[in-house]
Amino acid sequence: MQPLSPRKRRIYLYSLILLFFVLFPIIILFAAGYRFKGEIGFVKTGGIYLAVPYSGALVSMNGEEIGESGLLKKSFYIGDLSPGAYILQVTREGDYPWHRTLIVESQLVTDADILLVSEDPDVVELSFDPKAATTTRHISKAAYDEYLLAFDEPAPTTTPETPRGILSLEQGNVFLRWTDIDNSPSSFYCTQPSKCVTEIPIETSKQNTIAVGFFGGGIVYATQEAGIFVTEGDVRPTEVFAPLYPVRGATFRIISGHLIVKDGKKLYEIQRL
C-alpha cells in the first residue's frame, strides 16, 4: 500500500478540521438541550413525564398513540419537545377518559399523575345480618357499628397534610392548598412549570359540600344537593370529574382506608374508583 502524498494528507487534515468546526457547535447545542426543529431551527426542548399506575391504558399525545401501560410499564417519558401546549389523553375500556393540556417549557419536564375512574363504580351494600341478600357484603356488627358511629360526628373541615397539600372545607366550598412553604408546589398547582399557584378551588358552586377527603388517587366530596363525586385537583385543563354515588342526601366517611357511604339508614362501600 502506497503512503498518502503530502497533498492528500493536507486535504484530509483540513477536511477533518472543517468537520470539527461544523459539528462541534452542533454537539454543544445538543448537549445543552437544543434540537433542530425544521423551519424553526435550533430550539431548547423540554419533556413530559406521565405516571400511569394502571395496566391496559392507552397513552396518546396530540392524537398520536404513544404506547400502552402494562405490568412493567407504569410511566412514559416523551422528550425532545418544542416549547408549547400538548394534549395528552389516556383511555382504558370501562373508565372515563383522562385528558390534560400540558405546557412544555425549555429544559424543563412537565409531569402528571393519571387518574382513571370507572364508568360503573363498584358500590356494594354492607350488612351484619347473615340472612341479608347475597349481593351485600357481610361484615361484623362491631365493624358496622364503628362505621355508623363515624357518621354521628361532623365531617372534618380539613384533612391531614399530605404530599398533595391540605383539603379545606369552608362554608360549603372546598379548596386544595399547598402548605409546604419550603418547597415549590407540585406540578398540578402549575399551569406551566414556571407558573404556579398555592390554592386550587375544588367545589365552589352554589351546592353545599358536606364532606371531602383524599381517596384512591382522587378527591372525593359530597354535596347536600347531588350526592358523591370524585375529581382530581389539578389547575391544568381539564381535570377528571365523575359521579360515584349521585344520590341527594348521601354522604361518606373514609374509615381505615375504606370509602363508606351512608344513604338514609343504609351503608355502602365504594371499593374502587
Check which CATH number belongs to the domain holding 201 and give it.
2.40.128
Q: Cell 353545599 appears where?
A: 208
pLDDT at 33 over 70: no
Same domain, 58 and 137: no
Same domain, 209 and 103: no
pLDDT at 59 over 60: yes
Last residue of a domain, one of 58, 78, 113: 113
pLDDT at 16: 59
Query: Within a domain: residue 175?
Result: yes
Same domain, 137 and 84: no
Mean pLDDT of all residues in the chain? 87
Instruction: Report yes or no on whether pTM surpasses 0.85.
Output: no
Last residue of a domain, one of 113, 134, 156: 113
Same domain, 89 and 195: no
Query: Within a domain: residue 159?
Result: yes
Residues 6+ apart with CB under 8 A from 17: none
pLDDT at 123: 94
Same domain, 163 and 245: yes
Query: Within a domain: residue 26?
Result: no
Dihedral (Cα; 85, 91, 95, 101), 10-degree rounding: 0
The tally of domains found in the chain comes to 2
Same domain, 197 and 89: no
- Residues pairing with 63 in the sheet: none
Which grid coordinates are listed for 157? 373541615
Same domain, 148 and 254: yes
Same domain, 161 and 87: no
User: Three-class SS of residue 26?
Assistant: helix
Q: Which domain holds residue 252?
A: 123-270
- Residues pairing with 125 in the sheet: 268
Same domain, 58 and 166: no
Same domain, 87 and 145: no
Same domain, 144 and 63: no
The tens digit of pLDDT for each residue in 98-154 reads 999 999 998 889 999 999 999 999 999 999 988 777 788 999 999 999 999 999 999
Same domain, 67 and 96: yes
pLDDT level of residue 233 (50, 70, 90 thresholds)? very high
